Structure 1
Amino acid sequence: MRRSRWVAALAVPLLLAACTAPGGSDSDAQAGVSLAPTDPPVTADPTAAGLVAVGVDGSSDGTLDTAALTSFPLLAASAQRCDGVPVPPDADPASVDAAQGDAAQGDAASVAIEVVAAYRQVLGVRCESTAGARTVYTDAASGRVWQGGELVSDAGHAIVSPAFAEVTGDDVADPFADVRFDTEGDLVLVHSDGTAWRLRADETDALLTDAGRVVRGSVRSGGAFVGAIATTAQVVPAPASAPLPAPPVPPAPVTPPAAGVDCAVAKCLALTFDDGPGPDTPRLLQILADKDVKATFFMVGSNVSRYPSTVKAIADAGHELANHTWNHPNLTTLSAGDMASEIQRTSQAIVDAAGQAPDALRPPYGAVDDAVLAEAGRDGMAVVLWNVDSEDWKSKNAQATHDRVITTAKQNGIVLMHDIHSWTIDAVPSIIDDLRAQGYTFVTVEQLLGGSMQPGTKHFSGG
């Protein structure tokens, strides 16, 4: 990858790793670990994160963009380069080149920067010079900056270092100079020769510091990069198995209307799926992709937490993400606090997994009253029910599900199905084909309702 010295020189002072000893308790550390060869994880798209310069032709060399200084206040958090040579942010390019030249003469090389993580509030970069490479991570929620070694506890160092020396045949190299995580939560150690070694997430759990859990949580969630430092100065630790509490996130992108479709004229229909995601949801996503159909997923928070990668896949495919509470209770029977928790925890889980907040709530069983509408309004969501019920939960049969949807579909209808049922997913291909033959155009709920879907409003009756 080609890197601009001027871009690197401006970017490097922005991220500083504090040279303190790794912290964390060794009480939970394991007696040994096993490292397996792997490829260095591709954990960030810096272009999508807005961190690299993109030319008018759409190309990029992958280097940090100087414009990111103003776009992301996070990048101004430090004032020292990775190699220890301070460069003021407003330095003249000629003086920077001269300083780098002087540094090179004194055994300190100019530094090139590569983005290796840009998720939620965490930015990770790899700083490379002739003296070696190391990773540096900055947490926008606290303003803290860590070297890779600070993500692993003292006990982790003692356990992993000999294992790394054994697999690499190098008992001198620092195994934590270039530390990364993949989207499954595995710890990846990259050797100076470019080889990489993976430690499974279940073996890593006991070896991470709180800082390590913050970084791993951000990468594993895959949420959109935020990049603004919060006012708090306290790092928020998270259990190794739990999603990281989310920082402020950008608003959910507005889905444009389906190309050339006016639902006041066309026979629009919204397919919606409740109660997932589940084990079969990826199969449904493939069917929808093959049929070029966008749908809306009203997801249960406990399943979102269980299948975060599926939620991200739903979002990446352009489907609409929506809220169906955490544990699927009848909201009208709950206290105000319990109702708020059911709704807000689910929205937070969706943000953690996909980096965007839902703007539609479907109360379980279609049970809605003024209190539910008020809470939905406070949480920025409209209440969206349905007017075409597949009754897939009752029939437990693909053909019966298909027949009911085909015979009850109507223009501008919202179809209720469940992606937790395999027979429902079996029925989807023929449902789409037969409804298309009847002239229907498939849209998301947001595309169907448009500007009428305001927080606290109710749409359709649930039957």
Structure 2
Amino acid sequence: MRKKRFFGGIALLVLSAAGGGLATASPEPEHEHEHDVMVPAEPTMIDFVDPATVDGLGTRNLGGDEGENAGRYVHIAYPQLPHAPHLNVALRGEAERVLHGFREATRFDAPRPRPELNMDWQLTAASGEIFGVRLRTGQSLGNGWSNSTRTLWYDRKTGQATGSTGLLAGPSAVRDLTRLVRSQLAKRGTPTTAHELTGDQLDSMAFNNGGDLVVEFDDCQVGPCSLGRLAVAVPARQVEPLLSPIGRAAQHAVRTAAEQTSATVPKTVPTPSPEAASNQAGSVDCAETRCVALTFNDGPGPATPRLLDTLLKERARATFFTIGINAAARPDLVRRMSAEGHLVANHTWAHRDLSQLPTSKIADSLGRTQDTITATIGERPTLMRAPYGAVNEDVTDVAGEMGLAIVGWDVDAGDGRVDDAKTITDRVIRRARAGSIVLMHNVNKTIVDAVPGIVKRLRGKGYTLVTVPELYGTAGMQAGRLYRPGSESTPERPQT
């Protein structure tokens, strides 16, 4: 019964992504139960820009002081765009606003079920004239999952950053668009509060590849929560007279990108990829040697290049559990990890608590990340780490079906909560034992400062640093099993 539900969910996901690829996809189904998954109408599909095509793009994170040992689960990711200072300030401001609101809303919540906040992003446009960034926020306060979106735009010629209404030529154009959207909502045949719609609610707008303006609404914003994602597409001929210069540039950028993509995308046939392994695997026998595995979650991030420099200098290897959206943005760093003897593994697409998701969404989050990593390094990961260490039977079932062993840890460096390299180093050295797996995060500079001391002192105690599979030698690691040093390698419930 469980496997039937898993594969049925995958079928729905395939339908919802029709017409999209690895980097260009329609909006995802975003609700917690398979029967809530909505297949959006074709006009509301948005093709997102592959972030790897934007030179100089980086990723940033917030919420690092909350996680495995806190009362809340928080993961906020947003991009940093090259030569777009005002947009970068606006993106960080939006991330901080969302985080502050979540903290205020959960100050007095009981720890079970844990509240969760997650923000990820997509590029709705990227050209010499314009950037568009769609921020998607989901949160659970114990009464179900709700989603909201906000899309910000940036005119690279003027240096102006704006919200979505900046696509329109002033207040009168906002009023005209509001009337058009009300009319479309009223024609849908589903119950909405379209008559109450105001221009303030037009905070997430982008163009589809035909130039129509797609207007997205937050869950429960203009209709019953059961509607799921609600969006309308205003035809290009109706919206063009209402556009500002930024709006016209954005529409042109999306249309041009669509034309170029349709003309240049080659037809490819998937080929089998070998299992990912360190290119130095087999050089150490951990049955005869005292081994420790250093692992890093969440990257690639801004601290990753210096971390890789440090590991190369120290001739130390590690296992990197990468987030799919970050790997897609920085494939150069993922390739470097693999080339320099490290092991690249799966940490899901956007760091959601998998134990709270249906099997279809677990499979989607892991599968998209598998595809991204495999396409980048030519090898298929065989390890995954669940965000927050949250594992249940559904997670182990899906991981097993996808050929992924689940990796826990027994030493938490605490680098997300402590901003002091010496404290982090002392903590790791005090707790490490032969066979230990050390949890760290490669998205902050403090851990990079701590790594030289960690490597030196571990070696001084007679430890050899290896990748995770080498700890288990010839016995290997089995898909669908949770490996946590010092405990049975069997499925465990999430930490509470």
Q: Give the alignment's TM-score, normalised by structure 1.
A: 0.47
Larger Rg: 1
TM-score, normalised with respect to structure 2: 0.44
